[in-house]
Every structure is written in structure tokens, then in C-alpha cells.
Chain A
Amino acid sequence: MSDVILSVEALNSFYGRAHILFDVTLEARRGEVVALLGRNGAGKSTTMRSIMGLIANRSGSVRFAGHDISRRQPHEIARLGLGYVPEDRRIFTDLTVMENLEVGRQPARTGAPHWTPERLFTLFPNLGDMRDRPGGRMSGGEQQMLTIARTLMGNPSAILLDEPSEGLAPRITEMMAHAIVGLKAEGQTVVLSEQNLHFAALVSDRAYVIEKGRIRYEGAMAALREDEEIRSAYLSL
């Protein structure tokens, strides 16, 4: 198979004294879309935050694009080309759309798609119509697009996308799925976390299922869709 760009091995994370992740192991290959599925509180966001270095209390090996990033600071990880889109969007509400994009801007990177505001506005047409609007005066769907666009401004070679469909209207969810498929077409590696199996199935090649901080399943997305037992054990409400 093609080369592995992100590999996580035996990742353990803690909030204070609470042990949240237990030996999480997963990987993503260049150009593929990988879904991390699980219920609320299963450990999806914690996995992403730990990979990104946002949880200081962690152990295990995390390698990205040939670097050991398990002890790096978040900004160093981002500069190596790993983008992160948080679940709660975290738009800078005082900054305009263009200024939000400016914060994310990093130099072009070889081997990764090069993004400019203009190119991003073709991916997310709504944003192009509100360049000078403050982030605080945008709808949830618009903010969701802006947060992805902002991360892409760093020209990442892979992005961690935490629950991109959460809390969005069906029409916007559909646009989001289109955007992710568009990213994949650009050759962008994407790791996304989802509770929504349907959404994940639309865009992903492979899937991991996480439950109570442990990876319970790993396989092709298509295989997971067929696997009634796994779905009902770990994913249904």
C-alpha cells in the first residue's frame, strides 16, 4: 500500500488523574480519508487533541511525516504540516473571515496542496461573499466552513477533522461531505471523527471504531457498513 503519513501507537492520555485513552493505535496513509467513529464521550476528540499535542499528559508514540511528534508543542506539530479542525469550531469571533484565514496562513509546502483564500472560496463559495464579516456574526454552518478553510491555509499535508457534521443542518452537512470529497480529490489526507455513520460512509475509505478510550474495530468503511454486530455494539444509540 501507499506510505503511512500518520501513525499512532499505544497512545495513552489523561485529564488530571482520569485515564481517558488506552493504547490507541491507528494510522493514515497519504491521500486517504480515515474515519474515527464512536459515541459521545468515546474518546474521539481526546484522540485528536492528543495527536495535536493539546493534551500535555500523554504517552505513546505518534509519528507524522517521518517525525516523532509525541513530545512536540502544538505549534511545532502544525508547522510540520498536520492541520487540526476542532469540534467546537473555535472561530476568532472578533476577526473577520479574511483575518481568520490570515491567522492560519503558513508557507507553501512541497507534497501538499497549496491553498489561497481565492481557491478556498471556490471550495466554500459562501465564505467568498462575506470576507469582511466578523466570525462572531456567522451561522454555525458558515463557521464550520471557515474553521476548515482556516486550517487549510496552513497548507497541511494531513488534517484532523473533529466531528465536521456536528450540529449542522442537513443541507450544510451535504455541502460539507462534498467539500471533504473535494479535498480527497486534491490528494489531501484527512482523519475525521464522527458519530454519524452515514456521513462518514459518504466520504471515508477506512474506519476505526473507538469505545471508552479503546479502539474496538479497524477495517474498510464498506466492511463496517455490513457489520451489523459492530455497529449495534459500538455505534447505535
Chain B
Amino acid sequence: MGFYVVQCLSGLAQASSLFLVAAGLSIIFGVTRIVNFAHGSFYMVGAYIAVTLAERWAGGFGFWGAVAIAAFGTGLLGVVLEMLVLRRLYRSPELFQLLATFGVVLIVQDAALAIWGPEDLLGPRAPGLEGVVRILGRPFPKYELLLIALGPLVLGLLWLLFNRTRWGTLVRAATQDREMTAALGINQTWLFTSVLFLGSLLAGLGGALQIPREAVNLHMDINIVVEAFVVVVVGGMGSVGGAFLAAVLIGQLQAFGILIFPQITLVIVFLFMAVVLVVRPHGLLGRPQALARAAGNQQEPLLRPATPAGRLVGAALLAVLALLPALAGDYALTVLTEILILTLFAASLHFIMGPGGMISFGHAAYFGLGAYGAGLLVKHFAAGMLPGLVAAPLLAAGGALLFGWFCVRLSGVYLAMLTLAFAQITWSVAFQWQAVTGGDNGILGVWPDGWASPRWVFYYLTLACCAGGVLMLRRIIFSPFGYALRAGRDSPLRADAVGIDVRRIQWLAFTLAGTFAGLGGGLYAYAKGSVFPNLMAIPRSVDALVMVLLGGVQTLTGPVVGAAVFHTLNTEMVRHTEYWRLLLGVSIIVLVLVFPMGIAGAFRRRERAA
């Protein structure tokens, strides 16, 4: 009995920590409608600042003073983020905001690496709370009891702040209708800044309070932000009460899940989220989002088939690509092969994001499934390359068919989170199912057949598959199916009314996109000679998003340009500096600020203006 009580209590302590972070994320989303990827980075920074200060200042005041200053400092960091970056993006498409905050994640990662180094840092215990108490005969850390109390306390304070102060009233008003709030004379600039302060402060507090519990390291940011997203989405975006409820449920699920299914702990939480979203598409306490009433609502530019000149440029590009092996060396061919594969990967994501209007945070799942489709055949059946390249898109299509069925039931951020959940589930299966996938060791020796092993042959094979895939996706966009897909994106209601089964079309599109991503993944496996779980990890999905967004979502050349620019930047930066994340992060932010419509989009606009 005592064991279960203690387990439940540690679940509650975990819930409190999660709640602090998730509440901040939820508040920021509620008002600014920005899904702030950098929230986890603030959590990490809070922890680092607290560790540094607590070591320097011993004693009771030292520890708590360090926590307080860490929280406050992180809040200020949020203010800086708002004033320098977010403020310029409130009218941009939400994906650009997301991308910019991801740029901040990269910058903070490298800044933390430069300041605090790569080693884990251990924080001091909280003075006066080092010991344990006995609960039904079982020891339980006193510090955890403090955390358990802190969750409801913060929930209460936030409630008072939002319901009993003018500031809270204004924030709730702006959450619902920004334009009307402005028309009533409320300057939202400072409102948004203060919300970023509060939200980031909560993240920093959450991080600082972790230092007696776990080592501070450079991976805290992504881990916590994904967990916090899950909590916020399960609770309902923008609902602080919902975040609390979800944090408690997930804390318990983790505390007891580890006893029952120690092998799939990673999966349980995401499965829980998937179930909640299918049953309640807006989270436990969330409500359907009113369309954010911002002045910047713009229509999607129309996609047009290539003009004769455009076709000529395309054909010329293909010709150049076909001639390159005669000129380029092996290294250049390797990089080009990768760019081609990434282009197909990006184009497949673009297909559901642009014409489909479905944002996927987890597109790497299908890329990875493709790679594993090829890899598993090699590992278990010693199959050759051609069967592998057939299995790759098939396995990915199977995954996309299954996951897509759930995903198309949702829309917007909820859909994006569900795709992320499925990607994480796929990743954990690959990571934890040692016997079949080799787990973290991956699958090695996935090489092309003899005839295709020269670099230039494999390059031509990749060119044929990828150019073929990209052209086929283009062709589909301008087929009746593509029109139906775009109709469903622009107005599901009207599309429904003219007899289009929007869900089925979206499901099919999702599956198609997964299939082409899988083909890319299969090629990638043979290009690299190996398959690892990190092919499906979050950073890979983000890479794809960055490529599509860099190129411009509502352009057809976008994914091609985006993939080329992204991969070149990435490769060059890694070659020349240790701090490539910093550079990449800065480049992403600059690009987002300078080209709010993506690179290809900006050129098209200029062309039109001329």
C-alpha cells in the first residue's frame, strides 16, 4: 500500500513541475497564438542559472535566491524574445512564428554550450529539505512534498491574476479577440510583452526547481518542451486549469506506467494524448479556437501550373543535374545526392502542408519508416536494394495510412501535435524494440547493390526517383484530386456541401505524402549505408519543416529551393564551426524576418511586382 501511495505522490510532484512549464506555454499560446518552441529552452536556462548561482551562494537564502533570480532572469529573456523577434511576426503565418522560435532553440542550445559546457551539472539540495519523511513506512523526499504543494498554489495564484486583476481581464479579452481589444484602446504591445514575461518566468521557475532532482544538461530543452506540449494539448490549448488536470493525469500515468510497462514508457504518454485528442479534439478543457481575429488574415496565394518559361527553367535544372556527375567530384556528388533526397522529403511534406493545409510536426516518421523498410529487409532477409526500395515506400505508406486516419480528424495545432505524437511513438518503437530494429545501434551495412555502388550511378538513381517523385506530386496538385484537396483546405464546409469527402481526401493525401517521404527515406538508407532511430526524431521533422518554410509553403518551387538552401547551409556550417546551431538559428530567424513568404515566395512576389 505504502509503495503505491509513494508512487502516486512522486507522480504528483512530477505533475507540479510539468504544470509550471505547461501553464507558461499555455498562457503564451492563449494570447499570442504562438506555439513557442523556445519555451523548453527557457526552462533549461532557468535550471542553468539556478545551478550557477546556488553553487556560488551557499545557505538557505542562496538556494531560494538563486531560484528566484533564475525565474526572474528567464522572464526577462522572454521579454527580449518578444521585443526582438515575436513582435515582428504576429501577422505572419503561424508556421513562421514556430520556425522563428525554433531558431531561438538552436541559438540557446549553443549559447548554453558555450557558457556552461557540455557536462551535466549537479545542483545542491534545497537547504532544510534534504531529508526524507516516512509515509506509511516508506521514505519520501521532503523536497517533493514542497513541489506537490507548489502546483496547486501556482494554479491558485494564476487564477487570481487572471480573474481578479485588470491585467488578467485584458489578457483574457485579447485571447478571445485581439482586434476588438485594440479598438477599445488597449495597447497590446505591452500586454504581449508582459505575457511573455510571465510565461517565461514560469518556465524558468520550473527549470530552477528541478536542480535538486536531476542533473542539468543540454538536452533538457527539447525533452521538456515536448512533454509540456503534450500537457497543454491534452488539457486544451490556452486553458490553465486544463493544463493542471492534464499534468496530474500524465504525472500519474508516468509514475504507474513505469511499473506496468517499463519497456514502452515513452509511448504511453503519447498514446494517452492520441486517445484524448480522438475523443476530445480540443483537449480535456479546451474549446474550439475562435479564428484568431488578427488584422493580418491573408488569403493563400493561388498555386498555378508552371508557365512555359517555368517549364524551361525546370528542364534546364534537370539537364544541369544530369550533367553534373561529369564535373563534380565524389564529395560534391554525395552532398547533391542528399540534397535530392531531402528535396523529395520536403516536397512530400509540402504536399500536405501547402495544398493540404495540414501541418505535420512528425513527418520524419515516414522518412524513417522508409529507411527501416529498406534496412529491415537487409537485416532480416539479406534482401537486395531493389526490394528494399519497394519496401521503403510501402512500410511508410502503411504507417501513414494508420496514423493519418487519426490525424485528419483534427486540424491546426492539434493535428500537428498528433503527428508529433505518432512520430515519437514510431521513434520509441525503433529505439526500444532492440530485437527487431537493433535499437540505438541501428542497422548497419545497408549498401546499394554492386551495379549501383559507384557514386555516379547511385546519384542517377536518386535523381530519377526524386525528380520523378517531385514531378508526380506536382501533377497530383493540378489533378481533380489536388483541386478537391485545396477546396477542403480553403473551406471544409463548402467542399463538403459540393460532395467532397474532405476527410477521405485528406487521409489519402496524408498517405501519399508519407509514401513519397518513405521513398526518400529508403534512398537515404542506401546513401548512408545505415539506419538509426534518430532518422525519425524530432529534429529531423523540424528539418523538413524548415526546408518547406524556407522555400515558402504556397509555392511549388519552395521545397526544392528550401531543401537546397537548408542542406547547403547546414553542411557548410557544420564543416566550419563548432557553433553551427547558433549560426543556423540566427539564419533561420533572419530569413523569417526578411522573407515572411519564404524565399521562393519572395521571388515570385518581386516577379509579379516588376
Q: Are A54 and B177 in contact (CB under 8 A)?
A: no
Q: Are B172 and A75 in contact (CB under 8 A)?
A: no
Residues of B within 8 A of A86 (CB): 180, 183
Q: Are A79 and B185 in contact (CB under 8 A)?
A: yes
Q: Are A78 and B185 in contact (CB under 8 A)?
A: yes
Q: Are B186 and A103 in contact (CB under 8 A)?
A: yes
A201 within 8 A of B: no
Q: How far is the CA of A4 from the CA of B173 in the complex (A)?
A: 33
Q: Are B176 and A94 in contact (CB under 8 A)?
A: yes
Residues of B within 8 A of A79 (CB): 185
Q: Mark B158-193, 1 if CB is under 8 A from A, else 0.
A: 000000001001101101110111111111100000
In angstroms, how far is the closest chain A Cβ from the Cβ of B287? 9
In angstroms, how far is the closest chain B Cβ from the Cβ of A144? 14
Residues of A within 8 A of B307 (CB): none
Given contacts A92-B173, A95-B172, contact A103 B181 (CB under 8 A): yes
Residues of A within 8 A of B223 (CB): none
Given contacts A94-B172, A95-B169, contact A104 B179 (CB under 8 A): no
Q: Are B182 and A78 in contact (CB under 8 A)?
A: yes
A61 within 8 A of B: no
Given contacts A52-B183, A154-B185, contact A90 B177 (CB under 8 A): yes
Residues of B within 8 A of A75 (CB): 182-188
Q: How far is the CA of A16 from the CA of B297 in the complex (A)?
A: 10
A195-225 interface with B by 8 A CB criterion: none
Q: Are A104 and B295 in contact (CB under 8 A)?
A: no
Q: Are B180 and A90 in contact (CB under 8 A)?
A: yes
B577 within 8 A of A: no
Q: Are A99 and B169 in contact (CB under 8 A)?
A: yes
Q: How far is the CA of A150 from the CA of B183 in the complex (A)?
A: 11
Q: Are B182 and A74 in contact (CB under 8 A)?
A: yes
The residue in A79, A104, A150 that gathers the most chain B C-beta atoms within 10 A of its C-beta is: A104
Q: How far is the CA of A103 from the CA of B181 in the complex (A)?
A: 7
Q: Are A103 and B183 in contact (CB under 8 A)?
A: no
Which residue from A56, A92, A103 sits with its C-beta under 8 Å from B295?
A56
Q: Mark B178-212, 1 if CB is under 8 A from A, else 0.
A: 01111111111000000000000000000000000
Residues of A within 8 A of B175 (CB): 94
A102 within 8 A of B: yes
In angstroms, how far is the closest chain B Cβ from the Cβ of A47? 15
Q: How far is the CA of A104 from the CA of B177 in the complex (A)?
A: 13
Q: State the interface size on chain B (CB cutoff 8 A).
A: 21
What secondary structure prevails in chain B residues at the interface with A?
Answer: helix
- For chain A, which range describes its interface: under 10, 10 to 19, 20 to 34, or 35 or more residues? 20 to 34
Residues of A within 8 A of B182 (CB): 54, 73-75, 78
A6-65 interface with B by 8 A CB criterion: 16, 52, 54-56
A82-106 interface with B by 8 A CB criterion: 84, 86, 90, 92-95, 99-100, 102-104, 106
Q: Are A84 and B173 in contact (CB under 8 A)?
A: no
Q: Are A102 and B169 in contact (CB under 8 A)?
A: yes
Which residue from A16, A55, A76, A106 sits with its C-beta under 8 Å from B298?
A16
In angstroms, how far is the closest chain B Cβ from the Cβ of A36? 18
In angstroms, how far is the closest chain B Cβ from the Cβ of A133? 15
Q: Are B177 and A84 in contact (CB under 8 A)?
A: no
In the complex, residue of chain B having the shortest beta-carbon distance to the beta carbon of A79: B185
A179-199 interface with B by 8 A CB criterion: none
Residues of B within 8 A of A95 (CB): 169, 172-173, 176
A151 within 8 A of B: yes
In angstroms, how far is the closest chain A Cβ from the Cβ of B243? 17
Given contacts A54-B295, A94-B172, contact A84 B166 (CB under 8 A): no
Q: Are A103 and B170 in contact (CB under 8 A)?
A: yes
Residues of A within 8 A of B173 (CB): 92, 95, 99-100, 103
The residue in A56, A73, A74, A84 that gathers the most chain B C-beta atoms within 10 A of its C-beta is: A74
Q: How far is the CA of A154 from the CA of B183 in the complex (A)?
A: 10
Q: How far is the CA of A86 from the CA of B293 in the complex (A)?
A: 13
In angstroms, how far is the closest chain B Cβ from the Cβ of A80? 9
In angstroms, how far is the closest chain A Cβ from the Cβ of B338? 39
Which residue from A78, A84, A92 sits with its C-beta under 8 Å from B172?
A92
Q: Are A93 and B185 in contact (CB under 8 A)?
A: no
In angstroms, how far is the closest chain A Cβ from the Cβ of B187? 5
In angstroms, how far is the closest chain B Cβ from the Cβ of A141? 19
B429-466 interface with A by 8 A CB criterion: none
In the complex, residue of chain A having the shortest beta-carbon distance to the beta carbon of B179: A54
Given contacts A16-B299, A56-B295, contact A106 B169 (CB under 8 A): no
Residues of A within 8 A of B298 (CB): 16
In angstroms, how far is the closest chain B Cβ from the Cβ of A193? 15
Q: How far is the CA of A111 from the CA of B166 in the complex (A)?
A: 26
Q: Are B166 and A102 in contact (CB under 8 A)?
A: yes
Residues of A within 8 A of B295 (CB): 54-56
Residues of A within 8 A of B170 (CB): 103
Q: Are B176 and A93 in contact (CB under 8 A)?
A: yes
Residues of B within 8 A of A103 (CB): 169-170, 173, 181, 184, 186
Q: How far is the CA of A73 from the CA of B298 in the complex (A)?
A: 19
Q: How far is the CA of A104 from the CA of B186 in the complex (A)?
A: 8
Residues of B within 8 A of A84 (CB): 183-184
Which residue from A16, A56, A93, A151 sits with its C-beta under 8 Å from B184?
A151
Q: How far is the CA of A95 from the CA of B166 in the complex (A)?
A: 12
In angstroms, how far is the closest chain A Cβ from the Cβ of B197? 20
Given contacts A16-B298, A90-B177, A92-B176, contact A106 B185 (CB under 8 A): yes
Residues of B within 8 A of A76 (CB): 187
Q: How far is the CA of A150 from the CA of B185 in the complex (A)?
A: 11
Residues of A within 8 A of B299 (CB): 16
B48-69 interface with A by 8 A CB criterion: none
Given contacts A74-B179, A90-B177, A95-B172, contact A104 B166 (CB under 8 A): no
User: Which chain B residues have a beta carbon within 8 Å of chain A's beta carbons?
Assistant: 166, 169-170, 172-173, 175-177, 179-188, 295, 298-299
If A16-B298, A94-B172 are given as contacts, then 19 extra A-B residue pairs at C-beta distance below 8 Å, sorted by A number, are A16-B299, A52-B183, A54-B295, A56-B295, A73-B182, A74-B179, A75-B184, A76-B187, A78-B182, A78-B184, A79-B185, A86-B180, A90-B177, A94-B176, A99-B173, A100-B173, A102-B166, A103-B170, A103-B184
Q: Please list 21 pairs of residues, one from A and one from B, whose beta carbons are closer than 8 Å in the complex, sorted by A's number.
A: A16-B298, A16-B299, A55-B295, A74-B179, A74-B183, A75-B183, A76-B187, A79-B185, A84-B183, A86-B183, A90-B180, A92-B173, A92-B177, A94-B172, A94-B175, A99-B169, A102-B166, A103-B186, A150-B184, A151-B184, A154-B185
In the complex, the 6 A-B pairs of residues with the closest C-beta atoms, listed nearest first: A78-B185, A74-B182, A90-B180, A103-B173, A79-B185, A75-B182
